[in-house]
């Protein structure tokens, strides 16, 4: 039938994102931690969906989440529940339901999709299994967790803070191990709880210099790369390369074998043999690297440490694109639960970006998804080519969607006499129909010729400005 509705009749974007999470994984996490035993008013799946809706829509509070779901009540059946919860319901659930449920859910998703999202190699590296370690502090506006620094002398209250210690897989771009502590806890304590297989590579900054832990890794054949502290006490046993006297030298300036004292309870118990590399970058900065691997090329050691910056970009990506400025609860359990929801959302976006094979940036992709969270459009096609997927979903040609020109793919015989409309991309101008009453008439094509007023408007928008007489032009009768 010619009048048949060909619109996409599937699921909204959020529902398609949630399909990436297997239902069996949510059920197994709930059974493991008895998630529905002590709080049955809000089922675990509804709780997970509600919080992920808040993460993707960038809600700063539970009221925004509940009222946002209330506006989508006609579509909530696609998400697995029939009505939006009251604000007090998720608030109580964030306090009474353990954050360990969301932790189990995150690690379960990571285990399922790790091989899919991992790249085979990194540029300039010949090693495998590279892990990056770092931490990031999130400031809190209450003293749930103690912050860093001294107490205020004027009697003011010191803000709290939570420190997220993370071990990131360099080949997948997601965190493999997360530990959350008070912001005042030192970074090096995170190393004590790590369990990594032999022949793994670890890279971290010099805040994690713990020699007795380095000695354990050397015995387990776990290799590391870090920077040496400026006040480190060491003895040089052998000099392999020394180019420090060479004028304008760059790259590896010096390579040495050194030993450092491993202390237990303040007493030196052994001497640990390490490799010390002095490296000068193209911009003149000099770095002192140490490693317990004696076979890998020196340039590779410098490249490994250069890749440490990937975890800084990961922290930046999470903090800029997901709600971590305000928290949805006043308990430590609620704060940790929200952080794990953000990590789950970031992992889901990495999986979807990999499936869609898109070249869009992460920020651009998450913004488009946020704006169309409850739209009925095929997710992977929408992420890969937003305009094409939207035209396909709404069965509309290019000109009908943006008010610019007819779609040459659907009408190959059409030829536009104005080269600007035919060959170059045009800015979306459909929103001007709300500003200028005569806009729709001006967009019409008459006799295969572009309307004169349409051509004038295009010229000004192509140059990035709108002439002061254009509004008057479009409010007049556009029958010419």
341-350 pLDDT, tens digit each:
999 999 999 9
Residue with the bigger pLDDT between 270 and 156: it is 270
Q: Is the pLDDT of residue 330 over 60?
A: yes
Q: Is 157 helix (H, G, I), strand (E, B) or coil?
A: coil
Q: What is the pLDDT of residues 73-97, one digit of tens each?
A: 777 877 878 788 888 888 888 888 8
Give domain status of residue 448, yes or no: yes
Q: What is the pLDDT of residues 161-186, one digit of tens each?
A: 788 899 998 888 889 898 888 878 88
Do 78 and 11 form a contact (C-beta atoms < 8 A)?
yes
Give domain status of residue 287, yes or no: no
Reference 380, options 368, 395, 396; nearest CA is 368
Reference 232, options 257, 214, 210; nearest CA is 210
The per-residue pLDDT for 146 is 52
Residue with tokens 């709300």: 434
Give the strand pairing for 449-450 and 223-227: unpaired
Give domain status of residue 133, yes or no: no
User: Distance between CA 227 and CA 347 in Å, rounded?
Assistant: 30
Residue 250: left (phi > 0), alpha (psi -120 to 50), or beta? beta
Work out the burial of residue 135: count CB atoms within 10 Å of its CB; fewer than 13 is exposed, 13-18 middle, 19 or more buried: buried
The per-residue pLDDT for 21 is 93
Give domain status of residue 451, yes or no: yes
Residue with the bigger pLDDT between 18 and 76: it is 18
- Please report which confidence band the pLDDT of residue 291 belongs to, taking 50, 70 and 90 as the band edges: very high
Reference 217, options 292, 131, 300, 130; nearest CA is 292
**Residue 415 belongs to domain spanning:** 396-475
Task: Say which DSSP state 78 is in.
Answer: G
- Residue 46 CB: number of other CB atoms within 10 A? 21
Mean pLDDT across the stretch 140-154?
Answer: 53
The per-residue pLDDT for 432 is 42
- Residue 402 CB: number of other CB atoms within 10 A? 18
Token pair recorded at residue 204: 């971290």
Percent of the chain with pLDDT over 70: 75
In Å, what is the CA distance from 168 to each residue of 191, 214, 357?
Answer: 13, 19, 22
User: Distance between CA 42 and CA 83 in Å, rounded?
Assistant: 12
Give domain status of residue 151, yes or no: no
Among the ranges 86-90, 317-321, 461-465, which has the highest mean pLDDT value?
Answer: 317-321
Task: Say which DSSP state 204 is in.
Answer: -
Q: Is the pLDDT of residue 39 over 50?
A: yes
Q: Is 371 helix (H, G, I), strand (E, B) or coil?
A: helix
The per-residue pLDDT for 160 is 63
Give domain status of residue 455, yes or no: yes
Chain-centre distance for alpha carbon 333: 23
Mean pLDDT across the stretch 239-266?
Answer: 86
Q: Is the pLDDT of residue 19 over 80?
A: yes
Q: What is the pLDDT of residues 44-70, one digit of tens each?
A: 988 999 999 999 999 888 888 888 888
The per-residue pLDDT for 440 is 42
Mean pLDDT across the stretch 230-247?
Answer: 87
User: Distance between CA 74 and CA 54 in Å, rounded?
Assistant: 18
User: Distance between CA 400 and CA 440 in Å, rounded?
Assistant: 10
Q: Nearest 5 degrees, angle CA 356-CA 362-CA 363?
A: 135
The model carries a pTM of: 0.74
Number of domain units in the chain: 1
- Residue 479 CB: number of other CB atoms within 10 A? 10
- CA-based radius of gyration for the chain: 29
Do 184 and 206 form a contact (C-beta atoms < 8 A)?
no
Give domain status of residue 131, yes or no: no
Give domain status of residue 160, yes or no: no
User: Distance between CA 75 and CA 84 in Å, rounded?
Assistant: 11
- Please report which confidence band the pLDDT of residue 393 belongs to, taking 50, 70 and 90 as the band edges: low
Q: Is 433 helix (H, G, I), strand (E, B) or coil?
A: helix
Mean pLDDT across the stretch 208-229?
Answer: 91
- Please report which confidence band the pLDDT of residue 457 belongs to, taking 50, 70 and 90 as the band edges: low
Token pair recorded at residue 169: 């897989």
Strand order in the sheet with 175-182: 175-182, 161-169, 130-139, 201-203, 223-227, 286-291, 267-280, 251-264, 235-242
Reference 346, options 172, 93, 99; nearest CA is 172
Q: What is the pLDDT of residues 118-131, one digit of tens each?
A: 876 777 777 888 99
Q: What is the pLDDT of residues 190-217, one digit of tens each?
A: 888 888 889 899 999 988 888 889 999 9
- How does the average pLDDT of the chain come out, rounded? 77
Q: Which residues contact 313 (CB under 8 A, 6 or more apart)?
A: none
User: Distance between CA 341 and CA 65 in Å, rounded?
Assistant: 14
Q: Which residues contact 182 (CB under 8 A, 6 or more apart)?
A: 145, 146, 147, 160, 161, 162, 163
Percent of the chain with pLDDT over 90: 25
Half-sphere exposure of 367 (CA within 13 A, CB side): 7
The per-residue pLDDT for 105 is 95
User: Distance between CA 411 and CA 24 in Å, rounded?
Assistant: 47
Q: Which residues contact 142 (CB under 8 A, 6 or more apart)?
A: 159, 160, 330
User: Distance between CA 45 and CA 50 in Å, rounded?
Assistant: 9
Token pair recorded at residue 237: 């046993």
Q: Is the pLDDT of residue 144 over 80?
A: no
User: Distance between CA 276 and CA 290 in Å, rounded?
Assistant: 5
């Amino acid at each position: 039938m010619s009048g048949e509705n060909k619109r996409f009749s599937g699921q909204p974007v959020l529902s398609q994102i949630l399909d990436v999470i297997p239902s069996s994984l949510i059920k197994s996490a709930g059974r493991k931690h008895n998630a529905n035993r002590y709080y049955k008013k809000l089922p675990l799946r509804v709780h997970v969906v509600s919080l992920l809706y808040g993460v993707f829509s960038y809600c700063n509070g539970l009221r925004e989440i509940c009222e946002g779901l209330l506006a989508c009540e006609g579509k909530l059946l696609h998400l697995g529940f029939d009505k939006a919860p009251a604000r007090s319901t998720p608030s109580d659930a964030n306090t009474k339901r353990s954050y360990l449920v969301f932790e189990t859910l995150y690690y379960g998703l990571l285990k399922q999709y790790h091989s899919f999202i991992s790249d085979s190699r990194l540029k300039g590296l010949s090693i495998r299994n590279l892990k990056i370690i770092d931490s990031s502090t999130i400031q809190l506006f209450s003293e749930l967790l103690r912050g860093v620094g001294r107490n205020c002398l004027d009697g003011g209250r010191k803000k709290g803070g939570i420190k997220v210690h993370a071990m990131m897989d360099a080949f997948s771009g997601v965190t493999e191990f997360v530990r959350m502590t008070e912001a005042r806890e030192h970074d090096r304590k995170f190393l004590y709880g790590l369990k990594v297989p032999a022949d793994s590579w670890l890279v971290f900054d010099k805040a994690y210099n713990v020699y007795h832990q380095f000695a354990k890794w050397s015995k387990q054949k776990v290799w590391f790369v870090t920077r040496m502290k400026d006040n480190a006490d060491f003895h040089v046993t052998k000099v392999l390369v020394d180019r420090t006297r060479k004028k304008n030298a760059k790259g590896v300036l010096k390579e040495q074998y050194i030993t450092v004292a491993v202390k237990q309870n303040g007493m030196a118990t052994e001497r640990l043999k390490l490799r010390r590399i002095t490296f000068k970058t193209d911009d003149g900065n000099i770095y002192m690297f140490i490693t317990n691997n004696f076979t890998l090329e020196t340039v590779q050691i410098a490249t490994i440490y250069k890749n440490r910056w990937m975890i800084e970009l990961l922290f930046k990506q999470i903090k800029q694109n997901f709600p971590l400025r305000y928290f949805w609860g006043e308990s430590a359990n609620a704060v940790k639960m929200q952080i794990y929801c953000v990590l789950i959302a970031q992992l889901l976006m990495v999986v979807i970006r990999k499936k869609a094979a898109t070249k869009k940036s992460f920020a651009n992709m998450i913004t488009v998804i946020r704006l169309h969270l409850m739209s009925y459009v095929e997710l992977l096609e929408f992420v890969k080519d937003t305009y094409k997927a939207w035209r396909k979903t709404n069965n509309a040609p290019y000109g009908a969607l943006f008010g610019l020109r007819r779609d040459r793919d659907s009408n190959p015989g059409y030829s536009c006499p104005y080269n600007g409309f035919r060959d170059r991309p045009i800015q979306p101008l459909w929103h001007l129909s709300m500003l200028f009453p005569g806009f729709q008439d001006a967009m019409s094509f008459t006799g295969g010729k572009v309307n004169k007023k349409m051509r004038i408007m295009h010229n000004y928008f192509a140059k990035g400005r709108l002439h002061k007489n254009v509004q008057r032009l479009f409010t007049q009768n556009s029958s010419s």
